[in-house]
Chain A
């Protein structure tokens, strides 16, 4: 994970070959050129043998232009686009484990989870695991809220994103 960097956050969406070594060459390029990755997610896309890779980076326009060009230069990267935050749906998922030794705490956590439209996905006698989905701000807010209760572990997926409407970053 990257150090915090000055500048605007950009979401870069790339369609890449879904085969071993591609994530390595992409992340290696970022390291090599000194671009800091804030988050990176990758998974199968709607098309056979192609994966969608979503990277968020902080920087200025010139840096992002270089990121896109350097990504496009990689043979296994098929298509790259910058997603405009105004017309993009972004989501992140977090699993949050909270220590709930006390029944008052337990019911508070469950209440907050409902307010945040999350789900309790694991219940033990001394802890709960909550699944929470949304944009990063919502997840940050939930985590902040859980801190006083005894936050034990957090696992976040990083941002994945799609453009709204028919605008697409699709390989035709």
Chain B
């Protein structure tokens, strides 16, 4: 036991969790913590908006697989974290958010900068805590990291009233946690594995859907081994992008509203569907009532509440994806003779060929530019995206080869996520190029953190697909609202080159695919963040598209 303040106990506890970096902004209610940081070797990156601190910690977590940490003061500092926390919750990203609060005696009195952040974040965290005394800080930090990183990962918030930070007490550090109500089930039930094996052995047209859970559980190898054994093609969700190399012959690309034609045509033809680490979101399934209605569905997910929530599977398997896939593989490899699937594979090849013929990629169009971009990026380059057309073009046309190299706001769909997330990813992986594929509308939402990237020397590349409109909204108004364009025109402002330069970053405007490629090459070598302004037509739609609520094979292509 050592006598110290709660603030010191917090930083020591974070170090014991091997935290390397905290993304945050100080303020009145966290002054004691920042005073400890003053002479601590803990790295703290000063962000320019708390939302970006949360997104940066999320990007750090997704790129590294470790828990990201963000910190803010009470009141507005804490509420500014909320979007980032909700984003991490929807995409199962492990972050720990630390907030200060008013001293204990003022809680509930509506004191200056008091917010009930525990109440606010209850529905968007796995769990949250308000510290009652300095003594319990260590144990609560351990518990928070354990909950955030195990089972289905997600955000946890710890709220520290200011006087618990200054309180001096005998602090005991142990690695204990206290949780009776949290025991994630990771081992698959053998009987369920039997049932899954039985279905897969009989399958004539098996298909796999890989979600973000495959990446979280590091199950890519197990998934590919099983798919190759079964000769089963794999479609991914947006969150599952990168779980398998998209140049693999069995890869169908992304499924769903903006999925590839191949994935959206092949998945509904499956007779056995193996869905791994996915929650069957509406964006993936289209009309859920008829989704794969003729298929026998095996659903592997570590979160029991996801199994049966949107789709009722024939074989539910509540377990870690890696262990479940390995268990199925180990059973099959003994008994299963590689089936002749020439017809099924031929059907898939045909569909892929048809897709390739329909893709028209040239000029200053995002599909063309993204294909060209991929050619000059190393395989381990990390791509983050904003939300909207930029995101769907990236998902469709920028092939991903490795897990954790495609980072996007899937569930919440947060415009402004990609740029701060790219900063977090770059901090986690300083040796690989990190690029944010942005739209002008999204980038504007968090662009102030160019200041962070320049002052902390976190060089990333921001590619602004600049159509001067809120592109996805414009697309929906064009397609479903008779071209009645309402509140989508952003004008040609700001001048992104000047904006970048104002922050001390590099700005380049390109007018042709050749200039684009040249600019990206230059940006990747630059020691300072580069914003590449790519003017594109405001009339371009993202296709293919499945209209909302339609079955996923009802594809519009233009």
Contacts and interface: CB of A to CB of B under 8 A. Distances in A.
B interface SS class: loop
A65 B312 CA distance: 11
A65 B308 contact: yes
Interface stretch (A3-11, A68-76, A84-92, A95-103): A68-76
B181 to A, nearest CB: 4
Nearest to A78: B181
Contact of B181 (A21, A24, A70, A74): A74
A131 interface: no
Interface string B253-287: 00000000000000000000000000000000000
B147 A62 contact: no
A115 to B, nearest CB: 44
B499 interface: no
A168 B307 CA distance: 26
Contacts of A76: 127, 181
A29 interface: yes
Contact of A24 (B122, B307, B309): B122
A129 to B, nearest CB: 34
A21 B304 CA distance: 24
A69 B181 contact: no
Contacts of B118: 21
A70 B309 CA distance: 10
Contacts of A17: 180-181
Contact of A66 (B119, B303, B308): B308
Contacts, number: 44
Contacts of B307: 69
Contact of B303 (A21, A73, A75, A171): A73
Contacts of A78: 180-181
A152 B163 CA distance: 49
A21 B127 CA distance: 11
B182 interface: yes
Given A28-B122, A32-B123, A75 B308 contact: no
Contacts of A77: 181
Contacts of B303: 73
B180 A69 contact: no
Interface residues of B, number: 18
A16 B179 CA distance: 11
Interface centre among B127, B181, B312 (most CB of A within 10 A): B181
A133 interface: no
B358 interface: no
* Contact residues on A (Cβ < 8 Å of other chain), bracket: 20 to 34
Nearest to A25: B122
Nearest to B147: A75
Contacts of A72: 304-305
A150 to B, nearest CB: 41
Contacts of A66: 305, 308-309
A66 B181 CA distance: 17
A32 B127 CA distance: 15
B20 to A, nearest CB: 26
A17 B143 CA distance: 15
Given A28-B122, A28-B123, A69 B179 contact: no
Nearest to B118: A21
Contacts of A62: 308, 312
Contacts of B308: 62, 65-66, 69
Contacts of A25: 122
A75 B179 CA distance: 8
B54 to A, nearest CB: 21
Interface in B53-95: none
Nearest to A29: B123
B314 interface: no
Closest 10 CB pairs of A and B: A69-B305, A75-B127, A78-B181, A78-B180, A73-B305, A75-B182, A69-B304, A77-B181, A32-B123, A25-B122
6 contacts: A16-B181, A65-B308, A66-B308, A73-B303, A75-B147, A171-B180
Interface of B: 118-119, 122-123, 126-127, 147, 179-182, 303-305, 307-309, 312
